[in-house]
Structure 1
Amino acid sequence: MHEQEPHDSMVAHDKTSHESSGSKSLKKTSAGVIALLLVGVMMFLPTNFMIRSPGPVFNTLGKDEGKDVVSIDGAKTYASDSELDLLTVYVQGGGQNRVTIPVVLEALLNPTKDVVPEETIMAHSTSSEQQNQQNDMMMTSSQDLAIAAALTELGYDFKTWLTVADFSNELNSKLLKKGDRLLKYEGKSVSSLEQLKKALDANGDQPATLTVGRADKQGDYKNVDVAVQTQAAENGERQLGVFLGTEHKFPIGVKFGLSNVGGPSAGMMFALSIIDRLTEGSLAGKHHVAGTGEISADGTVGPIGGIAQKMVSARKSGATIFLAPAGNCNEVVGRVPEGLNVVKVSTLKEARSALEKIADGQDPSSFATCE
């Protein structure tokens, strides 16, 4: 019996070891399952990235859903054989529509897409609805600026006013109204933003008389004198505490029939289409041209987002010439699709001149490009 004890003891020990090994194995399996579950959950958590991909293309000299993309009243217009495409970008993510890690990984592997931090496109506090509203406002503004730039390029005269768009603080919020046209400051005509800034700085912290044109209920404007105050900004410049906008009164009517497209980047192509319609012949001959760029009233062409995706869309739509803002050249280099000639432009005048020369037979590849 004494000899049996070690044997019994050994049997008991072996059993204990077997149970301990099985328990550890179960724990490892459980930990692995939990880890996989956590990875699975993390894969579908929303991220703070947004994805740009190629979007639809619209010929500004054509139609969209049966409507002319650009139509003009009050002036003689001419048919054109050119195609002048504006380009769009699909944007995923941001706001309440955040994308998950698998979507981001797919975009990283797709050469036609770009993944960018959300804050490069929209503020974290901005909702998707607010962003859409901002894009709609920017589109409306770009259309107005496109008309101004085109008519300036063609030598038309039209009226322009600086207006009160909104208030940045309460300094003059009870004296001025949204939509007020700024006419005179201390008796001198307000002709431009730069001229107004100089006048505000020259007057310093003293009260001043601002004459505004204010619409009544019937829409008629009457001159009103307002005693306004200014305050110094961080850079020392005097400010009225308002956000300024621009209003134009054009001698012709221009309507835009494009729907479900926002943002400011169609400005240059809108302006070129207006020029084409108001001048005889075809601005780019029978060439298929695409392009992008913000436009200012004086014809300056500014950079935009998503130019790589827009070049992809341009080539797929059949364009062989692409007008790119000079400010986007660093994003153009190395991403130009085969068969697309990129022409670098800084102004509407440069863009118009390039297209006219191309229409006359000049080789598109001979123009300045992004290097």
Structure 2
Amino acid sequence: MTFDRDILAPDDPVAPDGDELPAPRASRRSMTLGISLLMTALLAAVLLVLPTPYAIRAPGPTEDTLGLQGADVRSGGSGEASGDGESATALPVVEIEGAETFDVTGELRLTTVSVYGGPGGDVLLGDVLWGWGSEERSVWPVEEVFPQQTTREQQQQVGQAQMASSESAATVAALTELGYEVPATLTVAGVVPDSGAEGVVEAGDVVRSLDGQEVTTHQDLLAGLDGVTPGDDVVLGVERDGEPADLTVTTGEGDGRAALGVLLDPSYDYPVDVTIRPGDIGGPSAGTMFALAIITKMTPEDELDGAHVAGTGTMSVDGQVGPIGGIQQKLFGARDAGADWFLAPAGNCDEVVGHVPDGLNVVRVATLDDARSAVEAIGAGDGADLRACS
């Protein structure tokens, strides 16, 4: 057997009598390199599954407030919910009794954010890296999403309480927008520390008047404060232990208006029975879409006319749309649910610009009246003239 010396290196061993060459032994350098690569891969794998001090926000499920609870998630919109092998008829997300309602075409979708991490749940490094590289997700230090020393159960309780308050405010705002008067009993639940009400107003006081003007609705109180300059004194008429009392309170400032510095626990006497079923959704950010659903169902005209509109925003009893968290994730959730339009709180517009998914039209709304007008314009085909976030 002969060998081509142009192929073999000068130092390559050659079998003198044509026997096969022995297999080359791995050099120390190549073995070290292989072991290093293996250890690096193992270390990377371990790091990817290590918990991190972060939370991730991602698009959450949506719900058509004009439809049936959970119908889209559980049965593709058929309205038949199933569980444990049996079917049951799903209930409306918003149900109205005591007033005439009308058929509606189209959708008004509330949007949500899914949060991973926080109390009782760790986010892994691999998830964090994915979140940093995703347009739809955002990564936050846990303490910026969840208050410290808060358990997941406590967070859920807070979210449920916020949702209950949101339902009440949305109902009052919607019925007021429709021309109803909603009587209220405004009981003081507490006072804000270091406010003018501290040491003057007591828990259990029932608000009856403001500067001599009778207060029978929540709107009466807010309208009275609209004419007060923050820092001025007002006379708050209350009922305490069954007896009337006039209390002089120095106002502060809150949400751009004079504030009493009291925490109210309102009880409303609704002229129409409205039931809202939010399911497992918590927090206050669905208020605007709940209010719109009530108005749309109680309006003879089919204002949506088949349009698919999503949105978000808190709702106050006097019809103010408030900003929320996770607006960018909600935009993508709306797009994924097939919405063509999105109603965004004016206070979130700076977070919207530059983050709108293709095919989604965003409309800026500051009040319930803005939102209602937007729905009417979209249904009429005039959405292009609406004000966008810019």
TM-score range, shorter chain: 0.7 to 0.9
Number of corresponding residues = 329
Shift of 1:63: 0.4
Alignment partners' CA distance in 2, 1:232 and 1:347: 25
The SS at the match of 1:243 is strand
CA distance in 2, matches of 1:244, 1:157: 19
The 5-angstrom pairing of residues 249-328 of structure 1 reads: 249-328=269-348
Identity %: 41
State which of 158, 172, 197 in structure 2 corresponds to 1:134. 158
Q: Residue 217 of structure 1 corresponds to which residue in structure 2? A: none
CA contact (8 A) 1:176 1:226 kept: no
Q: Which residue of 2 aligns with 1:67?
A: 91
Runs of 5+ consecutive residues of structure 2 not aligned to the other structure: 1-27, 71-89
- What is the alpha-carbon root mean square deviation over aligned residues? 3.8
Distance 1:335 1:185, change over 3 A: closer
Distance 1:227 1:137 in 2: 31
Which residue in 1 is equivalent to 2:385? 366
- In structure 1, the residue corresponding to 2:61 is in which secondary structure? strand
Deviation at 1:284, TM superposition (A): 1.2
Cα distance in 2 for residues equivalent to 1:67 and 1:164: 35
Opposite residue 211 of structure 1, the aligned amino acid is V
Instruction: Supply the distance in 1 between the matched residues of 2:156 and 2:305 (Cα, whole angstroms).
Output: 36
| CA separation of 1:44 and 1:231: change in aligned 2, threshold 3 A | farther
Change (3 A) 1:309 1:196: closer
Is 1:49 the counterpart of 2:54 in the alignment?
yes
Q: In 1, Cα distance between the equivalents of 2:250 and 2:308? A: 52
Asked if 2 retains the 8 angstrom alpha-carbon contact of 1:342 and 1:370, the reply is yes
Q: Partner of 1:154 in structure 2?
A: 178
Residues 117, 123 of structure 2: 8 Å contact kept? yes
Shift in Å, 1:86: 0.7
Match of 2:239 among 169, 189, 212: 212
Q: In 1, Cα distance between the equivalents of 2:221 and 2:115?
A: 36
Amino acid across the alignment from 1:270: F
The code of the aligned residue for 1:360 comes to A
- Aligned equivalents of 1:200, 1:357: Cα separation in 2: 37
Q: Residue 10 of structure 2 aligns with which residue?
A: none
Correspondence 1:1-371 to 2 at 5 A: 44-65=49-70, 66-166=90-190, 176-177=202-203, 180-184=205-209, 189=214, 191-192=220-221, 195=224, 211-212=238-239, 223-225=242-244, 243-362=263-382, 364-371=383-390
Does structure 1 conserve the Cα–Cα contact (< 8 Å) formed by 2:101 and 2:299? yes
Give the deviation of 1:334 after TM superposition.
1.9
Measured against aligned partners, the alpha-carbon deviations of 1:31-65 in whole angstroms (never above 9, x if no partner) come to: x97x9988776655543321111111111110014
- Tell me the amino acid that sits aligned with residue 305 of structure 1: G
Write the distance in 1 (CA, Å) between the matches of 2:290 and 2:236: 39
**Residues 356 and 231 of structure 1, relative CA distance in 2, 3 Å threshold:** closer
Q: Secondary structure at the match of 2:167?
A: helix
Which range moves more in the overlay, 282-291 or 185-194? 185-194
Change in Cα spacing, 1:201 to 1:328, as seen in structure 2 (3 Å) is: closer
Q: 1:185 to 1:62 in 2, by over 3 A?
A: closer
Describe the shift of the 1:234–1:246 C-alpha distance in structure 2 as closer, same or farther (beyond 3 A).
closer
Give how far 1:258 is off: 2.2
8 Å contact from structure 2 (residues 170, 317) kept in 1: yes
**Change over 3 Å in CA distance of 1:277–1:194 after alignment to 2:** closer
Deviation at 1:352, TM superposition (A): 1.0
Once the 2 structures are TM-superposed, how far is the Cα of residue 242 of structure 1 from its aligned partner?
5.2
**For 1:330 and 1:185, how far apart are their aligned partners in 2?**
37
Return the alpha-carbon distance in structure 1 between the equivalents of residues 299 and 265 of structure 2. Answer: 30
| Cα-to-partner distance string for 1:304-335 (whole Å, 9 max, x where unaligned) | 11111111121122111111112111221222
In 2, distance between residues paired with 1:360 and 1:131?
41
**Deviations 1:238-281 (Å, cap 9, x if unpaired)?**
99985334332221110012210001111111111100111102
3-state SS, counterpart of residue 139 of structure 2: strand
Letter in 2 for 1:146: A
Residues in 2 aligned to 1:245 and 1:162: alpha-carbon distance in whole angstroms? 6
The DSSP-based 3-state class of the residue aligned with 1:135 is: helix
- Indicate if the aligned counterparts of 1:46 and 1:98 stay in contact, CA closer than 8 A: yes
- Stretches of structure 1 that go unaligned for 5 or more consecutive residues are 1-21, 215-222
